[in-house]
């Protein structure tokens, strides 16, 4: 598969917005969620860089160094997942267009649809997980980074949470087409737990940012 810079990540913001607004099915909501998550990761890295090497925040250096690394990694991963989501949905759409005039064609179409739907649920689930990781890192940074950039940190938290929720919707809509009840049940349970944690962490970040004060450094 081609690398993401040759696809969605290689577009200008205006080009991506125009393509997203078109009647074409890809990119769609899953890719939009992944790109949103990548923006959250970028903000996380930005806040880390705005904090490092400032004497006031020296006790939090390790936290901010990790935030920069995780933010840069996360934005790259999520942009790649944006491409993967578009590829996955295109494959699903292609499977649904397969002929179904004969029993053999119907069987082939059904098998192809189930396989494509599984991938189309796995990719957004990966987006959910990555966004949850970014949100956890934002939480660790709250009260341990440049207070002048606290609103940027809250934006990162809200974007990552929204991206996780949006990607989760794509997981859930594709699961029925997989035709595997055990897989669907396990995936729904995993997704539910992640989203509960996302809601909890977002609430904590909002509260900590609202305090506008520093807290104790992370324990080493």
Mean pLDDT value of segment 153-169:
98
Mean pLDDT value of segment 184-196:
98
Mean pLDDT value of segment 175-182:
96
The pLDDT mean for the chain works out to: 94
Q: How is residue 122 written in tokens?
A: 């796995």
Confidence check: pLDDT of 220 > 90: no
Which of 4-8, 52-56, 90-94, 96-100 is the least confident region?
4-8
User: What is residue 25's predicted lDDT score, i.e. its pLDDT?
Assistant: 87
Considering the domain delimited by 19-209, tell me its CATH architecture.
Up-down Bundle (1.20)
C-alpha 135/C-alpha 198 separation (Å) is 7
Confidence check: pLDDT of 93 > 90: yes
Q: What is the pLDDT of residues 7-25, one digit of tens each?
A: 899 999 999 999 999 999 8
Q: What is the pLDDT of residues 133-147, one digit of tens each?
A: 999 999 999 999 999
C-alpha 114/C-alpha 99 separation (Å) is 15
Question: Over 25-53, what HEC string results?
Answer: CCCCHHHHHHHHHHHHHHHHHHHHHHHCC
Mean pLDDT value of segment 152-171:
98
Contact 202, 157 (CB under 8 A): yes
Confidence check: pLDDT of 3 > 50: no
User: What is residue 219's predicted lDDT score, i.e. its pLDDT?
Assistant: 85
Q: What is the pLDDT of residues 39-64, one digit of tens each?
A: 999 999 999 999 999 999 999 999 99
User: What is residue 113's predicted lDDT score, i.e. its pLDDT?
Assistant: 96
C-alpha 159/C-alpha 200 separation (Å) is 15
| Helix (H/G/I), strand (E/B), else coil: 141 | helix
User: What is residue 2's predicted lDDT score, i.e. its pLDDT?
Assistant: 37
Confidence check: pLDDT of 5 > 60: no
Q: How is residue 11 written in tokens?
A: 């577009």
Mean pLDDT value of segment 195-214:
96
C-alpha 188/C-alpha 12 separation (Å) is 35
- Domain locations in the chain? 19-209
Task: Let me know how long the chain is.
Answer: 220
Confidence check: pLDDT of 172 > 50: yes
């Amino acid at each position: 598969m081609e690398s993401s810079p040759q696809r969605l990540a290689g577009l200008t913001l205006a080009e991506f917005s125009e393509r997203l607004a078109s009647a074409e099915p890809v990119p769609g909501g899953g890719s939009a969620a992944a790109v949103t998550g990548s923006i959250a990761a970028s903000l996380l890295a930005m806040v880390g860089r705005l904090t490092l090497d400032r004497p006031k925040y020296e006790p939090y250096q390790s936290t901010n160094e990790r935030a920069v690394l995780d933010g840069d990694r996360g934005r790259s991963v999520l942009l790649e997942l944006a491409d993967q989501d578009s590829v996955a949905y295109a494959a699903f759409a292609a499977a649904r267009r397969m002929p179904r005039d004969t029993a053999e064609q119907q069987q082939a179409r059904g098998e192809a649809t189930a396989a494509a739907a599984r991938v189309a649920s796995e990719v957004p689930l990966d987006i959910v997980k990555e966004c949850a990781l970014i949100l956890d890192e934002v939480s660790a940074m709250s009260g341990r980074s440049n207070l002048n950039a606290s609103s940027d940190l809250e934006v990162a938290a809200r974007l990552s949470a929204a991206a996780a929720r949006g990607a989760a919707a794509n997981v859930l809509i594709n699961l029925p087409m997989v035709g595997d009840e055990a897989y669907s049940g396990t995936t729904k349970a995993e997704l539910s737990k992640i989203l509960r944690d996302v809601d909890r962490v977002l609430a904590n970040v909002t509260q900590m940012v609202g305090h506008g004060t520093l807290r104790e450094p992370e324990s080493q």
